[in-house]
Structure 1
Amino acid sequence: MRYIVTIIWSCLIGGVVSYVLSSMGSEPFSLEGTVALTAVFFIAIAVLGDGILKNDNSHS
C-alpha cells in the first residue's frame, strides 16, 4: 500500500515540478520528462525509506 501512495505522490510532485520548470524555461510541457522525473522521485523515496532512513528500534 505504501508503494501505491508513493507512486501517486511522486506523480503529483513530479508533474508540478516539471510544469513549473518547463514554464520557467519557456519550453513546452513534456509528458516524457514528467514520467522520468516521477521515476527518479519514486526510486529515491523507496531507497531512502526502506534502506537509509529505516528506524532501528532494537536499542530500546
Structure 2
Amino acid sequence: MTLIWALLLMLMLTYVVSSMVGVAFNLQTALLLGVGVTVLVYVIPAILPNPAEQDSHQ
C-alpha cells in the first residue's frame, strides 16, 4: 500500500512541478521518484535507533 501512495503522490508532484516550470511531464521520472521514496520510507526507520525505554519506577 505504501508503494501505491508513494507513486500517486510522486505522479501528482511531478505533474504539478512540471506544469509550473513549463516542461513536459515525464512519467518515467515520476515512477522512479515514487520507487525511491518508497525505499526511503522502509529503510530510514530501520536505520534509526529505537528511543530508549523510559523507566517507570521512580
Indicate the TM-score class for this superposition, using the shorter chain for normalisation.
0.7 to 0.9
Q: What is the TM-score with the length of structure 2 in the denominator?
A: 0.74
TM-score, normalising length: structure 1:
0.72
1:50 Cα offset (Å)? 3.4
Structure of higher CA gyration radius: 2
Aligned ranges for residues 7-18 of structure 1 at < 5 Å? 7-18=3-14
Higher helix share: 1
Q: Unaligned 5+ residue runs, structure 1?
A: none
The whole-number CA distance in structure 1 between the counterparts of 2:5 and 2:45 is 14
Q: Which runs of 4+ in 1 moved over 4 A?
A: 54-57
Aligned length: 54
